[in-house]
Every structure is written in C-alpha cells, then in structure tokens.
Chain A
Amino acid sequence: MLYIAREIMKSTLSFSFYLFFALIFCCFGVNAQTQTKYWVSFTKKTAKHFDPYRFFDPKTIENRQKSGLPLSDWYDLPVDSEFIYGVAQIADSIGYASRWLNGLAVYADVLEIKKISALPYVKTVELMPNKAVIASINDSLSNNATGKDTSKRTKLAEQIDGLDGNEMAAHGLTGKGIRIAILDVGFVNADKHPAFEYLRSHHGIILTYDFLHHKENVYGSGAHGTAVLSCIAGKYKGYNMGLAPDAEFLLARTEREATEFKDEEDAWVAAAEWAEQHGAQMISCSLGYTYQRYFYKDMNGHTSVAARGASMAARKGILICIAAGNEGENQWKFVTTPGDCDSVLTVGGYDPKTGYHSGFSSFGPTSDGRLKPNVIAASTTWVATPTAYGYESGTSFATPLIAGFTACVWQYLKGKNNVQIMDTIQKLSSLYPYFDYAHGYGIPKAGYLFGEKHGNDSAITIYEENNAITVSLSTSYFKDSSHINRIFKINYLYAKATDPQGRIKIYDVIKVNSQRFELSNITSYLNSGRFAHEIPTDEEKYPKGWVVTVYFDHCIRSYHF
C-alpha cells in the first residue's frame, strides 16, 4: 500500500486530474457515509393542551366542521420538543418533524443512529429515499415553443375539452372558494408571469413557503411548479389553461430539481401539514418516490413516509391529486409513492392524439393489488414556462388538470367530503364502472356531472364461439351513418380478464375494425398451460371463476366461466 501511495504521489499531471474527480466523488461519498437520512418515530406525545382556533386558519376549522371531523385530535398535537432536542444533540443535523406521524427526519452516521435508536422515547428508525422523481418527461421546461398560434390553442383545447372543461365554465364552476396546495420543486417567475396575471389580480395565491430554505419566496428557481400551476389556473391569451382559475392557492417548495441528492420526503409531509393548517382542501402534487429507496413491494400505501403523510392528510379531509409517474416505459413501470396510497386520487395520462394510455404513464396496480391510477387526463399539455409558454408531457401536467376538475366538482357539491368527492370523480369518468391498470376509470367528464347520459346500453354482446371469446357490436353501429362517424371517434374496445379474486390478469385496448371479432389474446391467455391444472375435464377449457369484461361506448358486458 505504501508503494502505491508513493507512486501516486510522484505522479503529477494525471494525478491532479483524477484528484479533481476524486474530490467531487468524495463530496458525494461523505454525504452517503456521514449524512444518511433517517426517519425517527417517537413513542408518545406529552402535550396536553391544544387550541385549534389559535393554531389553524379559520378555513381549516371550516373544512373540518364541513367534513364532520373533530377540530383537533391526537395527531394535531405537536411533537415533543424535548424529544427533538434529545435527538438533535446526537444527530449531525435534523430535518422536519411531523405532528401527524409523530416523528423527525435526521441526518446521522451509523454510530449516531445507534445512539438515537437506544433513546427511550424512540419507537422506530427507518432509512429515507434519496430523491423524488418529477413526473414530467422533460425536466427542463422549454421556452417559446414554435408553431402556429392555432396549434397552441388546439393543444390547449385538447387539455380542457378532454374533461369537458367548457361545461364547467358554462355552469359557473371555476374552483371559487376551493383552496389548493401545490407541492413542487419551485414556481419560478409565477409572481410575474403573464399566465398568472388573472390569478394575481384576485389575490389567488394566499401563502407560499420554501421548505428547503425555510423562507417564503418560492419564485426563485424550479420551473416545474410554474407549469403545474398553469395547468390549474393559468391563462394563455385569455383562454383558460386549467379548470380552476378562481381557486385559492398555497404554494410549497418541497424538492429541488435534478441535481438533488438528498431526499425531501419529510419536507413533503411537513408541507402537507402546513397546507392543512392553512385551510387547504386539496393538494396537487406531481412528485413521487421510486427505486432509490423502495422496491415495488413497498408500493402498498403504508410503507413510505410520504404515503403515510398522504394517508393522514386524507384522514384530515384533504383530497390529494398525485401524479402516477412516468415510469410506464422504465424498469420501475408502476405508480410511484405516495400515489400508491388508498385514499388519494392518482392520476395517469392519456395521449390526446390516440385517446388512450400514454406509454410513459405509470401502470397499476399497487403491490397489494389495489387499482391505480384512479383516473387519467391529457398528458401532453400547453403550459407556462419560466418566461413564456411551451408544450410539455408527463403525468405531472395531467394531475393539475384533474385537480382543477376536482375543485370545480367540489365547488358544485359543497356538502360532500373528500372521500365522497373522490368517489364522485371516479364515477364521472369515461370508463366507469369498467377499470384497468392503465386508465383507471378513465377520463372524468364534466358533462356527466350535469346529467349527460352514459352511452349505449346495447352496444356490444360477448359470447363464446368456436372456442374463442367473441365480441359483437350492435348492428346499428354499421347501419346508421351517424354511428359510423361515432365509431371512428370512439373506436376503442377495452377488455380484461380477472381471476376469481378479482385481480386483473390481462387487459387490452383494441381498435375496433369490424362488427365481430375474437378476443384472441385473452382467449389464448385463458387457454394457456398455466391453467391446465384447474381444468377438470376436456369440456371445461377455461379456468373456473374467471370473468372476461369488455367495455365499448359506455356498454359493459361480462362473460363468466
């Protein structure tokens, strides 16, 4: 070893070059070694008195009363300051504490965390993830997209019309009176961008906070939040970019952009608590956590700190819209956390050009088999960039579109709580009650809120013929020219096979080209060798208890085996 050291020391130029890189590396290495981030949970809370009227915004009191929730409970009590002090004495540094989770984020090395674990009031210690994934395809938002103004307005129309957004505006629903918190990487120039002139004119931004730098200004960096905000409340040449321009906003910066090496999951929870304290009824978040600390098996809605925080927020009456993520074409493939949470509205994306799932949009189900995403919206959108406007893709932008839609629904159904509104949003969706793990219940439609009839009851029949599951469309589709036009507009048939436990094992989206066709892929899947042991006789070709369900133009048919 001495020889190696001596040799290295004698080298001059090349050594200096590598030393430079080594120093950079060491910076990361030191972080990894001495500043690993942990979540420390405490055994109890010692605070006895809590005055909700002093602590909460009047809007929070109003929200809780409307939702039938107690004005305060154990989860609202502060984390014991002596516990925080005790941990801070040992750890390198501390992050955010959470009232809801009764815990604290700390940076500590192995020895320090052992000491912390041994403290009598410490319940558990968990490692935390490195980095959030921003659910947009292009993290650096492009400015000044070229193209004719009409094509920009077409894109704008697609993102609004997909949700029947004009119906909302026609009924005077603009999110008025609904307070939405947006948790993101920053909102650069949102304080002066022309897209938000209207929002600023009615003082729509109520409060801001940067949870990374502990300051109010969130407009210094991070373009992603600016784009997200524009998809709820932005305007382009007088046209709405989202559905809730009259909503009120709380803007929280909880993450840095791509260069971030530390996790900010504790900041996410802290921001959710802050949002609830200041009267938010909804949270829109286009960030998620994936492979850096978790496996797919952890996507069960109660493992990650963010998922637990999101669950608590839902229990406090907040409706959370979360991006499903853009992992559909990556190895991860599935929804990110906290989108795995049971009580949040997880939003996937569809391609406005095709009308079905965008390849990048993360798939469900959760690792414990629950349906995700819940709904979808357009994932290629016209958004505000730091200094202008541009096209962007990702479930990041589908999410605020749904958040705006939800705000309008809540404005319309004032007496409902967050769970009822979430249920309503799903029921308003284009495929409901059909669902699959790419589209959830489909695209929410404002028209359905105002009584538009759901489709054609006799559009399809399903039967077995020549050893194949066969679907036949109503002849009227081919006799009536208006239907022929319609079929070219709505020409996708959705099909799935579910096992006796109700889990979807295979699902398809099929382009309809003819009046009758076989579901050959699903048939061969059901006939495949894997079910051989379940088939008692030659007559029974299919496994018992399975169901094939198809959806076309609001008509759902099932075939039971």
Chain B
Amino acid sequence: MKKIILILFPAIFILAQNAICQDVVLEQKPDQFTGGTFGANKDWFAQLSFGFGTLVGKSDPGLSYNDWRSNDVRIGVKLKRKINGLLSVWLEPEYHYAAYNINQSGPKVTDSLFWFGLPINHEKERFATEGILLNGFLRFNFDTKRGNFMGYYLDLGAGADIIADREYLTIDKRSDGSQVRASVTNIPYMNNLNYNLIARIGINWIAFTLNYRISPLFKSQYNIPEPAFITAGIEFNPYSH
C-alpha cells in the first residue's frame, strides 16, 4: 500500500499541477515600460560612481608629499533630480579613502612630532583618512535636447568629507628583509571634517574631476605642513541605456 501511495502521490501531484498551471516562457506588459520618470535624462536617476585621483600642486614646506603616489579612491552613488534639459541637482554620498604619501628624501617635521625627536627615514610613510564624502552639485548639460542619455556636462558643487578614521603609517625594513608596519589610528592632529569644492567635466559615463580642499587636513595647533589642496582625477559612472 505504501509503495502505491509513494508512486501515485507524485504522479497525481504532477498531473494536477499540469492541469492548473501554465509554463509561461515569455510575458510582457507593455504599459510597464512606456512611461516612467527614472532615467539618465528623466526626472530622477541614480547611478554608481567610481573615482580615482591624485594630488596636484604644491604642498606646504617642511614635509615633502609625493603627489603622484598620494591617491584617493571614491565609491558611491549619484542621485539626480532633473530641473530642466540644462540643469539638474545631484547628491553624491561616497565612501572615500585618501592617502598622503611622504617622500623620505625631503624635510620631515613629522619625525620630531611622532618619533620623539628622532629624524627617522622609513621605507614608506603616509597619512590616510577614511570616511564618507557627501557632495552636492549642479550639473549643466551642454546638449539640452538630448534623449535619455547623459551627454556632455559640467558639474559644479561642494562637499563635506566626514572622516571616520585617521591613520599615520610607517613601514620599515629590518636587516633580515622582513617588514615592520607601525600604524597609529585615530590620530588627534587631523581634522574630522573637510570641505571641498568640486568641478567635473564629463561625457556620458566618464568624467574628469578637480577637487579643491578648502579646509586644512591638520589641526592648526600642531603646525603640520599641509599636502596640496587640489586632487585631480578620473571618474566612471556606469549606467545602462
């Protein structure tokens, strides 16, 4: 009896399913797609953003920052509200990591500050910050009568860099070739908040960016030389058409 039930039950179940179910291989509801206010050139839009930059310009004397190796990385989202074909307002929360590498050949006031007055050269030495960058900007589109397409644009705006972690890192090599990493986190002499002005020029999903830091990285009472105030970079903002 058990065997019969075991055989019959799945068979009945499958037959019953066949009788009442359908195997839909394609279904479309055209109205779902014909309108909508979300799109690259519609009322609302959101897209991912990936940015990379390096320091550009002159740092304060007293500490030799390596501009080329002082990079920042930004990963976030851009949220848009269109005003008209020319103008849109954007909000851009981003995770932001910035590193300020120090050349070992130049003057080093930091040694006197952090290494008990001893002028030490390291393999590598840097300040780094990590936090949330919150930008707001206006986008001016040159081609105002484009379709649902990002087009050519100029962004002008400002942002606040809310720093969650501040680090001073040195890497040294022992005589046996092994490395010694010394990391001091939450260092007190860096500011928690930085302000930036932003200019960006872009075509569709790629943009070239200039960030001008208008507030000091370090607290004034510590007299630590500031790195360059400008970061130039490239940004990728993928989206599908």
Interface of A toward B, CB cutoff 8 Å: 4, 7-8, 10-11, 13-15, 18, 21-22, 25, 28-29, 32-33, 36, 127, 129-130, 290-296, 298, 327, 330-334, 354, 356-357, 363-365, 367, 436-438, 492, 503-511, 513-514, 516-521, 525
Contact = CB atoms under 8 A, between A and B. Distances in A.
Given A25-B208, A505-B29, A521-B27, A14 B146 contact: no
A506 B67 contact: no
Contact of B147 (A294, A356, A518): A294
B221 interface: no
Sorting the interface of chain B by its residue count into under 10, 10 to 19, 20 to 34 or 35 or more gives 35 or more
Given A29-B152, A508-B27, A516-B19, A7 B147 contact: no
A331 B67 contact: no
A371 to B, nearest CB: 11
B25 A291 contact: no
Contacts of B146: 127, 130, 292-293
A292 B147 contact: yes
A431 to B, nearest CB: 13
8 contacts: A14-B232, A32-B142, A292-B146, A296-B34, A508-B24, A508-B26, A514-B15, A517-B19
Contacts of A332: 148, 241
Interchain residue pairs A-B with the least CB separation, the first 9? A7-B57, A514-B18, A509-B26, A511-B23, A32-B152, A294-B147, A291-B148, A291-B147, A127-B145
Contact of B56 (A8, A290, A503, A514): A8
B201 A363 contact: no
Interface in B36-80: 39-41, 54-58, 67-68
How would you classify the secondary structure of chain B's contact residues: helix, strand, loop or mixed? mixed
Nearest to B146: A293
A69 B54 CA distance: 67
A437 B28 contact: yes
B143 interface: yes
Contact of A21 (B20, B56, B234): B234
B241 A7 contact: no
Given A10-B58, A291-B148, A508-B24, 5 more contacts: A36-B143, A438-B28, A510-B25, A514-B18, A517-B20
A112 to B, nearest CB: 15
A397 B164 CA distance: 55
Interface string B210-231: 0010000000000000001110
Contacts of B29: 505-506, 525
Contacts of B39: 331
Given A7-B229, A32-B142, A32-B143, A291 B27 contact: no
B158 to A, nearest CB: 15
B149 interface: yes
B177 interface: no
Contacts of A32: 142-143, 151-152, 203
A357 B56 CA distance: 53
A11 to B, nearest CB: 5
Contacts of A334: 33
A10 to B, nearest CB: 5
Interface in B5-32: 15, 18-31
Given A331-B240, A517-B21, A365 B30 contact: yes
Nearest to B142: A32
A132 B23 CA distance: 37
Contacts of A327: 241
A511 B28 CA distance: 15
Given A29-B152, A525-B29, A129 B147 contact: yes
A36 B146 CA distance: 11
B33 A333 contact: yes
A354 B33 CA distance: 25
B147 A510 contact: no
Given A21-B208, A507-B27, A507-B28, A4 B22 contact: no
Nearest to B69: A14
A481 to B, nearest CB: 19
A7 B28 contact: no
A505 B149 CA distance: 28
A494 B228 CA distance: 66
Contacts of B15: 514
B120 to A, nearest CB: 27
B208 A22 contact: yes
A436 to B, nearest CB: 8
A37 B240 CA distance: 25
Contacts of B148: 291, 294-296, 331-332
Nearest to B34: A296
B149 A291 contact: yes
Contact of A354 (B25, B67, B241): B25
Contacts of B143: 32, 36, 127
Interface in B107-150: 142-143, 145-149
Nearest to A21: B208
A509 B148 CA distance: 30
B23 A513 contact: yes
Given A290-B241, A332-B241, A514-B19, A7 B27 contact: no
Contacts of A331: 39, 148, 240-241
B12 to A, nearest CB: 14
A22 B23 CA distance: 54
A438 B26 contact: yes
A298 B147 contact: yes
Given A36-B143, A290-B241, A517-B21, A356 B56 contact: no
A21 B53 CA distance: 13
Between B23, B142, B151, B208, the greatest number of chain A beta carbons within 10 A of the residue's beta carbon is seen for: B23
A332 B146 CA distance: 14
Nearest to A525: B29
A331 B42 CA distance: 12
A437 B30 contact: yes
A497 B56 CA distance: 62
Nearest to B38: A331
Contact of B203 (A28, A330, A357, A518): A28
A18 B212 contact: no
Contacts of B241: 290-291, 327, 330-332
A521 B34 contact: no
A29 B206 CA distance: 12
B230 A4 contact: yes
B57 A8 contact: yes
A146 B143 CA distance: 45
Given A4-B212, A4-B230, A356-B26, A295 B147 contact: yes
A11 B57 contact: yes
